[in-house]
Amino acid sequence: MGERLRDKVAIVTGASRGIGAAIAANMAQEGAKVVLVSRKIEGLQTVAAEIRGNGGEATPLACHVGHPDQREDMLDQALNAYGRVDILVNNAATNPHFGPMLSIDGGAWDKTFEVNVKGYFGMIRLVAGHLQERKAKGSIVNIASVAGLMAAPMQGVYGMTKAAVISMTKTLAMELGASGIRVNAIAPGLVETKFAQVLVDNDEIRSNIVNRTAAGRVGQPRDIAGGAVFLASDESDYLTGDVMVIDGGWTLG
């Protein structure tokens, strides 16, 4: 067990699998007490059991981050469990439409913005308010995407929400800096997860991306987790408003 996040309490959304689960596991290994959040409790319980089996501490809480009442109830439960929150990792996301941007329907549009933008903002507002009330320093890490930094054919609205997350990150870093709250983002490239299955499992898309990627491979959830731990820790105390691109060099060309 490490100590980079010793005595810290972290909320990680979208923690039932993939990038969120890897981040939660790494944070627990570095000493954080981790609140695991996702819509369904079953996957969270599996992740929590693995963390506990490795000597860490985790509490799974079911919550749809796009719903304000569920967000508030989740924070109350987290505070009841651990007394405070120091770190927020906004990772829960959705991408219901894969196709030309103009062909998206209103329901898919609304769902994408509800989770990816309103959910992130709502979580930040709750946790930042808690930190300000405590007069405590804190770290917020938003999982964005390289799709928010460049054209995102076939996932244009998803890319639009991730561009909004990047903008939100920079503005809130300015507005919350005086409170000692740092806000940073991570923009992953293509990572092998169930969420990205439509890209990873398409041989043509996968090979096109890998051929343009300096590292010559698709990313793994563990590749993102280390960056999140760094941004959450005191090692990055002078870093805020940054977008850490972890994409194996995909966006270099």
Catalytic center residues: 158
Cβ-based burial of 190 (10 A; exposed 0-12, middle 13-18, buried ≥19): buried
Cβ 92 vs Cβ 13: under 8 Å: yes
User: CB neighbours of 49 closer than 8 A, spacing ≥ 6?
Assistant: none
Q: How far apart are CA 122 and CA 233, in angstroms?
A: 23
For residue 191, CA distances in Å to 18, 84, 143, 177 come to 9, 32, 12, 31
For residue 250, CA distances in Å to 20, 146, 246 come to 22, 9, 9
The residues with which 59 forms a beta bridge, in sequence order, are 35
